[in-house]
Amino acid sequence: MEKEKRLKAYEVAKELGITVARLISWQKKGGLPPAPKVGRKRYYTQEYVEKAKEFVEKHLSARETKEILGINDSLLQKLVKGGFLTIERMGGKRLFLKEEVEKLKKKCPTPQDVKDMVKDQVGQSISWVARQLGVSRQTFYTWLHQGVISPPKKGDKIFFTRAAIEEIKKNLAHRLEQAHRIRTQVLRSRGK
């Protein structure tokens, strides 16, 4: 009976295209199962390498994801914030599910398509939303606390899309007009 060949960590890392440190880190973080030990040394079998390859093939690094989509890091972060991509942190490295990236690439073939989708969908800051409505942040917060505006939520975060802002504008046309008149009067009285 032939004994199965044991591979060293550096051989496995080389075959997977990662560093030994990354291999050990992924094991500690749970992305990969820990390798069996004989004494103090870890050993790897070809079966382990195949399982590890499956993990690596299902994930893309941030760099690979940005290259596929043709975007920069800022836009990648917005995609994560907007819930378009799921991020997994593994050993200090951001990993993205290859399947999600491929679906997004089909939906948005060009970088401009990705930007437009993010612009239309990603929740914006309260200051940005208030500016879109033509009111101050204070007025906006007052309306939130009074229940005049019921913010759309994604998880536990307030999440305003352009469509939601348009709906608010339509529903609050009278209040927005009144707020604009008051703001104009205040600015005139200050001489601005």
> What pLDDT, in 10s, does the model give residues 48-65?
888 888 888 888 888 889
Closest CA to 169 of 124, 128, 123, 133: 133
With 0.75 as the threshold, say if the pTM is over it: no
pLDDT of residue 82: 74
Q: What is the rounded radius of gyration, in angstroms, for the C-alpha atoms of the chain?
A: 25
61 within some domain: yes
Do both 108 and 16 map to the same domain? yes
| Phi, then psi, of 91 in degrees rounded to 5 | 60, 40
Of 67-71, 136-140, 162-166, 184-188, which one has max mean pLDDT?
67-71
Percentage of residues in the chain with pLDDT exceeding 90? 8
The domain total for the chain is 2
Residue 1, pLDDT score: 44
| 11, 19, 15, 17 alpha-carbon torsion, rounded to 10° | -160
Across 5-9, 30-34, 78-82, 94-98, the highest mean pLDDT is recorded for 94-98
Report yes or no on 3 lying in a domain. Answer: no
Judge if 85 and 145 occupy the same domain: no
Q: Do residue 92 and residue 28 come from a single domain?
A: yes
Whether residue 23 is found in the same domain as residue 111: yes
**Domain co-membership, 75 together with 147:** no
Question: Based on the domain organization, do 139 and 170 belong to the same domain?
Answer: yes
Long-range contacts of residues 104-110, Cβ cutoff 8 Å, at least 24 apart = 104/69, 104/79, 105/68, 105/69, 108/69, 110/70
Q: What mean pLDDT is reported for the chain?
A: 81
The predicted model gives 99-117 an average pLDDT of: 87
- pLDDT of 8 above 70: yes
Cβ-based neighbours of 80, under 8 Å, separated by 6 or more: 86, 87
Mean pLDDT of 26-43: 81
Give yes or no for residue 128 having a pLDDT over 90: no
Domain final residue pick, 60, 90, 120: 120
- pLDDT tier, 101 (very low <50, low <70, confident <90, very high otherwise): very high
163 compared with 96, residue with greater pLDDT:
96
pLDDT at position 102 over 90:
yes
> Does residue 102 share a domain with residue 147?
no
Compute how many other C-beta atoms are within 10 angstroms of the C-beta atom of residue 89: 10
State which of 120, 153, 174 marks the end of a domain: 120
- Residue 152's domain comprises 126-190
Q: Flag whether pLDDT at 174 surpasses 90.
A: no
Same-domain status, 61 and 76: yes
Q: Which residues of 118-156 are buried (b: 16+ CB within 10 A; e: fewer)?
A: beebbbbeeeebbebbebeeebbeebeeeeebeebeeee
From the number of C-beta atoms within 10 Å of its C-beta (0-12, 13-18, 19+), residue 114 rates as buried
User: Rounded to 5 degrees, what are φ and ψ at 133?
Assistant: -85, -10
